[in-house]
């Protein structure tokens, strides 16, 4: 990271993106690649990622992993590459799980460019949770280049190679 990110960025945010790149891959299409890390200070307590289309989202996976360790998310920080979804699709809205978890802080790498999802940062914020948005925006935009392009322009993300 470049060092000029908002307060709250750093190793856990980097970890969310790194794990997503290695795991979820293209099995999540047409959805974006999303990773989540739950931390207390610099200690990573649990992580999750969106593994496949229609499967549990990253936030839910991280919360499940945390609870399997017998830990309570209250007062911890959630680092997530993309803001929590706000609508019922193949899975319930992630923002509901994020609010119910009572995190002290939620650090979001990038706002979701999908207009159906945009606003997932508002729910926790309205309930007194400190929310940081854009903590790793450049990295997340690169990670989800095809998704971002399609959402913004309804055009495919194309890479061309000239001889």
Catalytic residue, chosen from 5, 43, 47, 59, is: 59
Interatomic CA distance for residues 46 and 123, integer angstroms = 22
Burial tier of 71 (Cβ tally within 10 Å: 0-12, 13-18, 19+)? middle
Q: Are 119 and 108 in contact (CB under 8 A)?
A: no
Tell me the β-bridge partners of 78.
Answer: 38, 106
Residue 118, token pair as written in the block: 């945009």
| Chain mean position to CA 9 | 13
Is 59 known to be catalytic?
yes
Using alpha carbons, list the distances in angstroms from residue 39 to 29, 147, 151. Answer: 28, 27, 30
Residue whose C-alpha is closest to residue 29's, from 51, 48, 14, 49: 51
Q: How many residues would you count in the chain?
A: 163
- Active site amino acids: 59
């Amino acid at each position: 990271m470049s060092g000029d990110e908002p307060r709250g960025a750093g190793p856990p945010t980097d970890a969310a993106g790194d794990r997503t790149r290695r795991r979820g891959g293209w099995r999540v299409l047409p959805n974006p690649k999303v990773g989540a890390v739950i931390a207390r200070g610099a200690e990573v307590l649990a992580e999750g990622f969106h593994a496949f289309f229609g499967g549990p989202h990253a936030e839910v996976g991280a919360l499940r992993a945390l609870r399997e360790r017998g830990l309570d998310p209250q007062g911890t920080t959630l680092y997530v590459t993309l803001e929590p979804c706000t609508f019922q699709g193949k899975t319930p809205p992630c923002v509901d799980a994020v609010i119910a978890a009572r995190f002290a802080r939620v650090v979001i790498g990038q706002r979701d460019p999908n207009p159906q999802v945009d606003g997932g940062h508002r729910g926790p914020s309205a309930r007194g949770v400190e929310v940081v948005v854009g903590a790793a925006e450049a990295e997340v935009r690169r990670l989800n280049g095809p998704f971002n392009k399609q959402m913004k322009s309804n055009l495919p993300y194309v890479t061309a190679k000239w001889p």
